[in-house]
Every structure is written in C-alpha cells, then in structure tokens.
Amino acid sequence: MEIYLVGGAVRDQLLGRPVVDRDWVVVGATPEQMLAKGYRAVGKDFPVFLHGDSKEEYALARTERKTGRGYHGFAFHAEPTVTVEQDLERRDLTINAIAQHDDGRLVDPYGGVADIEARLLRHVSSAFVEDPVRVLRVARFAARYAPLGFRVADETMALMQRMVEEGEVDHLVPERVWAETRKALAEPMPDVFVRVLRDCGALRVLFPEVDALYGVPQRAEFHPEVDTGIHIEMVLRAAATIAPGDALVGYCALTHDLGKALTPADVLPRHIMHEQRGIEPVQAMSARLKVPSDYAFMAEMVCRHHLNAHQAFELKPTTVLRLLEALGALRRPERLETFLLACLADKRGRLHHEHDAYPQADYLRACREAAAAITSKPFTDQGLQGPAIGEAMKKAQAAAIASVSKPL
C-alpha cells in the first residue's frame, strides 16, 4: 500500500499558498484493507474513506470511463492494480494532477510543475471533454489564479469551445452550475470567470441574461467603458476588492444591470427604467440556477433600488424609509450592508472611477440607525392602538431620517 498527497494541496504548496484541504490517494489497497486499518467508508460512487484521527479523505486509486452524457455518465474502476499515474490521468488540469510521496518526492507525469511555472491552466488529456463541469472549474480556477498571472492554455480553450458546440454543457444541472458559480464569485477576480465562460461560448448557454449585456452601449459621460458587459466585469472586480470572498455581493454585482439588455434600441445609449426591466431576468436567472433565497432576494433588491442609493441625497425621507423597509434593513442591518457594498461596486465599476468616494453609504447607514431607534413605546404610552401605532411610528421614523445631516 502506498499513500500520496494529491490535487489542490500539492498545487497550492508549490505556489506558496496556504493549504486548506488535504486529499490522499491510496494505491495497492482494497476497501477491506482500508476498513481493517480503521478508516471509515464514505464514498457512494467509488471507494473513499475518512481517516480515523485527521478526518481527511483517502480515496482508492481509480480510473473512470465515460458511459453517457453529462457529468453523471461515468463508470469507475478502483482496484489495487490501478497506478497513481492512472489516477492522476483522470483529473481535469495538469496543475491538479501532481502527487507527492510521504518523503516529498513528486509524481508529475503530465507536466503540472512546468505549467505552474508557466502559469498555464492546461487539461491533462482528451478525456477532459467528458465532464462538462470542467468548463466551469477551469473558469473558476482562472478567477482564483489570475492575480498570479495564470491563463487558460489555448488548446484547453479550444476543447472547451468544442464542448459547448457539441452541447455537452447543456447537460449541466442547475445545482452544479450554481455551486461552481458561487465559489467563483468569492474568488479574487470573478470577472475572469465571466470572461473565460464568454470566450468559450458557455456564457450564452448558462447565463444568457449576462451574455446579452455585451455590445449594449451606455452613455459615455456616466460609463466611459461604454459596453455594458465590460461594466459588469468591472463591477465584479470592484466587488471582489471591496468585499473579498463575499459571493452574495458578487451575485448582486453580476445581476444588477440585467435590464439594460432589454432597453429598446431607439432610446440607446440611455437606459430609462432599466431597474424595473431587470427584475424579470434577475428572477428568472435566480429561479433557473436555484440560488438560495437570500441571494435571490438581495439580487432583486439591488437591481430594483441601486439608482435610489446613488441618488440618496435627493430622496425624500419617506422614500428612504420605504427603501429601508423594502430591504428589511431596520431589523436586519446586514442586508443594508450587502446592498451598499454592491452599490459601491457599481459606482466604482466604471472606467477611471475605481477609487470614487461614496458618501451615500454612510448617509443611508445613518438614516437606518435613526429610523431603527424609533420604538413603539412612546405611542402605546399615549394610548394609541393597532394601526395607529404603526402610522405614528412611520411619521416619527421619517422625521428622524429628515434630521440626518447630508454632506455639504
């Protein structure tokens, strides 16, 4: 029996990055031998075991064979005769197909170390095309490692384009698309995720609402980048800078301007009522991807109300109160924070505006605090009952908001 450290742990170790998860491959063992040594079986499709002490995953070396379309269509073969090289061959990228002996020696049959040095995301073998999830994974790894200079190898991009053209990506289920997207939105450069998907053609299949934004012009005085698709990429980059690792803010950034793809051609490059037009595609995209309810809610709120945030100083106190109530922010201040971070990303996601101030955020925070400080007790003490209490509180909350100072 031989045990190797594999995958991301080896890759990140070679990149000098923190190793978060450690996965192991066991060569020359049977499930019965693993159980006899105290490992606990957890794998359903193929033999995977948890170490009794570390709880880390130990998988028997295996090969796989394509049996159908989509990512479910595989048959796995795990026998003591399967070598570590054969196990590594089934992996997606060469940088993930490196194993390490317990003495530190590397097993690198597919050039992963050289690709790390060359900063290339390259597929291991032609079997890459058999699993459509790999298109999303490559885009996600590109979003993670772009700050280090990584790019998708030309031959790998060509394979991804072929997978899209042959309809393999059409068989991805929403749960897998969302799982990879959520991770990508938390990466340092989520805009690269979108760019890679667009370059291979998968964006129009998986995210047609986003793909439709490319080529849609905006007014240059407000958006020097002009192209709405480029604006979305810039907002995603700004969101990752402002709120690192926050996929919820990232999803709001991704979806906030979907309505601009529906602007009538005769009014372009203006986008009057794009917030209202965007609600339906945001709802459709969230429903199709089966995103969590908090993501769906906040994405709709940012789409619907981001211009109100930008124009906060011009809003009436009653309008500010309605905004806070729509967000549910009086009881859940974290919703206001998510909203404001996404709006700040929208503000800064424009050419030459990457460092703009956004005093509207502090003003709206102060408005929330003023409104939230109003309680029902003074009104019940006055003898008010039922709806009269709520009406009195709203008036008091609006008055409290009116008293909040605005920047000069």
**Residue-range domain boundaries for the chain:** 1-131, 136-206, 213-370
Distance CA(77)–CA(227), nearest Å, equals 49
- Residues of the chain short of pLDDT 50, as ranges, are none
pTM equals 0.91
Q: What is the pLDDT of residue 48?
A: 87
Q: What is the pLDDT of residue 226?
A: 96
| Displacement of CA 266 from its chain's centroid (Å) | 34
Tell me: the pLDDT tens digits for 95-128? 999 999 989 999 999 999 999 999 999 999 988 9
406: closest CA among 370, 373, 356, 375?
370
Distance CA(255)–CA(239), nearest Å, equals 12
Distance CA(386)–CA(393), nearest Å, equals 12
Q: How many CB atoms lie within 10 A of CB 343?
A: 25
In three-state form (DSSP H/G/I as H, E/B as E, the rest C), the secondary structure along 213-269 is CCCCECCCCCCCCCEHHHHHHHHHHHHHHHCCCCHHHHHHHHHCCHHHHHCCHHHCC
CATH class of 1-131: alpha beta
Q: Where are the beta strands (DSSP E) in 137-227?
A: 151-152
Q: What is the pLDDT of residue 14?
A: 96
65: closest CA among 93, 81, 49, 45?
45
Q: What is the pLDDT of residue 381?
A: 85
Contact 184/141 with Cβ under 8 angstroms?
Answer: no
Burial 213-249 (b: 16+ CB within 10 A, else e): bbebebeeeebebbbbbbbbbbbbbbbbebbeebbbb
Q: Amino acid identity of 334? A: E
Cβ-Cβ contacts under 8 Å for 89 (sequence gap 6 or more): 63, 97, 109, 110, 124, 125, 127
In terms of DSSP bridges, do strands 40-41 and 48-50 run parallel, antiparallel, or are they unpaired? antiparallel
Q: What is the pLDDT of residue 21?
A: 86
Distance CA(27)–CA(58), nearest Å, equals 10
Q: Amino acid identity of 269? A: P
Contact 178/289 with Cβ under 8 angstroms?
Answer: yes
